[in-house]
A = this chain, B = another copy of it.
Amino acid sequence: MVIRVAVAGASGYVGGEVLRVFSAHPDVEFGALTAHASAGDTIGAHQPHLVPLASRVIEPTTVEALSGHDVVVLALPHGASGAIAAQLPADVLVLDCGADYRLASADAWAEYYGGEHAGTWPYGMPELVTPNGLQRSLLPGSKRIAVPGCNVTAVTLALQPGIAAGVIDASDVVATLAVGYSGAGKKLAANLLAAEGLGSAVPYAVGGTHRHVPEILQNFASAGAPNPRISFTPVLVPMSRGILASVTAPLAPGADADSVRAAWIDAYADEPFVRVLPEGSWPATASTVGANTALVQVTVDAKAGRVVAVCAIDNLVKGTAGAALQSMNVALGLPETMGLTMMGLAP
């Protein structure tokens, strides 16, 4: 079986990672690789690490170029996917790595992103708890999938077992994330320069303004939280990849260390890509680099009355391109783990 895949936005960080991750899939064959400003250049000029694709020429991102493929992956800036996606045939599987189709609420879209809401697609997080079982069961046969946000993935996977099991109170979640610089994309901004970032830690979008907040709350609600609230603080730290989400919530009445641990272990016992570490071990982002892995640990701080859960992922793999491939596998009826590694690159 050959799956012909086109990638729009092939010169950016997300696009490059889509190329790297999808190329490891035994059935994937790349068709058009497209971009805007860099159309006409070779992949080698923008993604020098992707040696086997070095001489491929980037085409302009047009509906014509993207036509005639089995799968189209959109790695475009937020707000740019809608116009393209609307013109792609209904029987093509479109995986949108942007935010355009993640939110169910048009109001939330308007508040956090602005502009018109493009719509809502099936959400590409197979592990998500929903009122009707896991999200996994909703994806087979889907032709449109919204790939989750990277921070959203880390926070959701960290906390949802506690929500689903009723052992935490999701109305007062606090999440602080150490995030690597690739999450910001190839944007030319002074605060993203190496001279600024090296040797420094600095927060941004503090106080509830980050665009991933409504998507996290949507997932918490999906997992069963009646009135989810979150204080969300991302902190840029000197690494190119990785998210370390430290997430706490009040321990629910009646819950204790045993019921908490059981909730997390049970929730992920059959998940191929989520691993709850042995008690006492805490995840390092380095352990997930390049892999579609989410490493999770949880403990109860009895004095503080809070559960503390930590999740480490590679923002570009399980946080984006790996999630896209995982969802593609499910959508197409292939084995979910096909072409995806759980071997991280450390040290």
Point out residues on A near B: beta carbons under 8 Å: 13, 16, 19-20, 23-24, 44-45, 47-52, 54, 172, 174, 176, 178, 180-182, 184, 186, 188-190, 192-204, 206-208, 213, 229-233, 235, 237-242, 244, 246, 248, 250, 275, 277-278, 281-291, 293, 295, 297, 299-306, 308, 310, 312, 341-347
Contact = CB atoms under 8 A, between A and B. Distances in A.
Contacts of A49: 286-289, 291, 343-346
A130 to B, nearest CB: 23
Copies of this chain held together in the complex = 4
Nearest to A301: B208
Contact of A301 (B202, B231, B295, B302): B231
A86 to B, nearest CB: 31
Nearest to A273: B51
A134 to B, nearest CB: 20
Contacts of A204: 282
A312 B49 CA distance: 11
Contacts of A290: 290, 345
Given A238-B238, A244-B203, A299-B206, A233 B198 contact: no
Given A48-B281, A310-B203, A178 B237 contact: yes
Contacts of A50: 343-344
A48 B188 CA distance: 20
Contacts of A188: 188-190, 193
Contacts of A342: 51-52
A240 B198 contact: yes
Query: What are the 4 closest A-B residue pairs judged by CB atoms, nearest first?
Result: A49-B344, A194-B197, A200-B286, A176-B176
A263 to B, nearest CB: 16
Contacts of A54: 275
A122 to B, nearest CB: 27
Nearest to A243: B201
Given A174-B174, A202-B285, A207 B345 contact: no
A193 B242 CA distance: 16
Contacts of A299: 206-207
A244 B239 contact: no
A23 B343 contact: yes
